[in-house]
Amino acid sequence: MLGTPSEKGLSKDTGKWYHNQKEHVLVWFASQVTRGAGAYSRNTPNANARTTYNRLLNPAMILWIAEALDEDPKIVQEAGEKALTVPPRSRAAAARKVLPWSRIAELANDLQETHSS
């Protein structure tokens, strides 16, 4: 199971270097503006949110971002279900078909407008 952001992702220890999807997302995005380290090394730092989102290979991160931006839970569920219908290496791409960058940007802009009003 991929889990959902409201989850399990905030309360359950994953047994990995990160404790939940929120920490995973924040650390991963923060590292993009550097040259990275180890398996996450890159020649050129990446400061583009769209590129960073489209490089995500972990579908749970995509679901967490969408839910954190107040996407309709049915849409988040649909993305998770689609991700589970394909092989593991294709799951992030399947989730992004339901939750493309354009939708994530729209949700972020809407949330920003709501908080600045």
pLDDT tens digits for range 59-98:
999 999 999 999 999 999 999 999 999 999 999 999 999 9
Distance CA 84, CA 49 (A): 25
Residue 103 lies in a domain: yes
Residue 4 lies in a domain: no
Residue 85 lies in a domain: yes
Cα dihedral 111, 45, 23, 50, rounded to 10, equals 30
> How many folded domains does the chain comprise?
1
- Give first-to-last CA distance, the chain, whole Å: 38
What percentage of the chain carries pLDDT values higher than 90? Answer: 46
Residue 64 lies in a domain: yes
Residue 43 domain boundaries = 21-116
Global pTM value: 0.74
pLDDT tens digits for range 13-25:
456 666 777 777 7
Residue 75 lies in a domain: yes
